[in-house]
Structure 1
Amino acid sequence: MGHPDADVHPVATGAAKTVVDRHQEDQDLILYGSWFCPFVQRVWLVLEEKKVPYKWVEVNPYNKPDSLMKINPRGLVPTVEHDGKALYESSVICEFIEDAYPDHQKLLPVDAYDRAYSRLWSDFVSTRIVPAFHRYLQFLPVTDLPGLEEKRQEFLDTLLTFSRAMREPKEGGFFFGGSSPMMVDLIAAPWLQRLWVLDEYKGPFFVPLTTEWKRWNDWANSLSDLKSYYETESDKEPTRKLYKR
């Protein structure tokens, strides 16, 4: 993606703006985020799924608020402030929210092995899927068709590996662990939501509809139907401009 242009759209749009507008009152937890950032969206999805009260503070990367710089001098997002203490790094924040709000919907399994399994594949998303996505998106020149195809296949291979790790679907949903969305689903969701960017800027991109990919496609459809998924998505046009090279 690179750095967003200085004229980045200043606020969320579409469904996401409606959610932002609902979260402007002071709360014990403050989320400093930029509407376009997939790592911010991870945290946002967790907050929405757990129904944790929070205040949203929009951060323009070229005009960061003083309140953010005081608690995180690097000015990176996502940052959360909770009872006057700051945390950053999206995966760390997501786990913190799970621990700090145990009476809200649980996003990590109770069983110790299942919790570790969830963390293992959340890490796979961060260390394998996300880098492969960006290597493909940033590959130039697009006239190098063999090189482009290599990056496309590398990315698809990570998605297939991820889908093969999913548990057998249970009645009511096809999420990674079964019938309900869990942390690992939300950790991966922002990149599922941005697959259209690959199609737009790297030529036709699609996940096959073969039997081998059925579990992935069922998972993607279940995730796409989540209210939190589509309510944290901004309109495509401001997003499109961010990725244009």
Structure 2
Amino acid sequence: MENIKIKTARNEMMDRPVVKKEVVEFLRTRQKPLSGKLGEIEREANERRVPIIPHETVVFLNLLLGQIKPEHILEIGAAIGFSSSLMAQHVGENGHVTTIDRFDVMIEKAKKNYEVLGLTEKVTLLEGQAADILPTLSGQYDFIFMDSAKSKYHEFLPECIRLLKINGMLVVDDVLQGGTILLPDEEIPKRTRAIHRKLNSFLDTVMNHPSLESSIVPLGDGLLMIVKKEEIELSSLRPL
């Protein structure tokens, strides 16, 4: 695989699992590895500490998407194109994945990965800020995967729900923040306190909304699974 230097801030949550470390090690090493070129991309990313979804989440999404068989998928946060490539395996002959990213280096790497995997016709990468792009999208998605800036989750929620089909699923990654989501504000470092508050506000909105069904799965740094049960007044989802 061609190497492109990707400069990313160290994500300390990658080393703070929300379940016991030995359980995480079991989930990451004992479950079936991906085969072929996609497996090579996953292994290279893990070796280089490029932030992609961990293997336990890979296995879970593979199983989930294989059962629900979505045709139209939206992703917020393409990174190197790994998760969108994984999801593209499940959309069928007439399905499509649309993904969004704003970082030039990530976009370049994602496009090269789509070429390597033969997915250039199956995945559309929209370049720019999700806050600007989401309102321009129309149509209905069966499945949405949000793995972007955690401070923006609540801001993006109304647009995601607008774009989601009734009984469609929105999956949001990294909602437990290495377990620190449980801590009071005063125990959170000042530099991350605003993110902590916004993420808690987001979780409160989703988990208490009468028109959404949700469940948190302790895989990776926490997956929040949301099903839209009926049409929703979007103002009820916006941050206060």
How does the TM-score come out when normalised to structure 2?
Answer: 0.38
- Higher normalized contact order (CA 8 Å, seq sep 6+, divided by chain length): 1
Q: TM-score, normalised by structure 1?
A: 0.38
Which one has the bigger strand percentage? 2
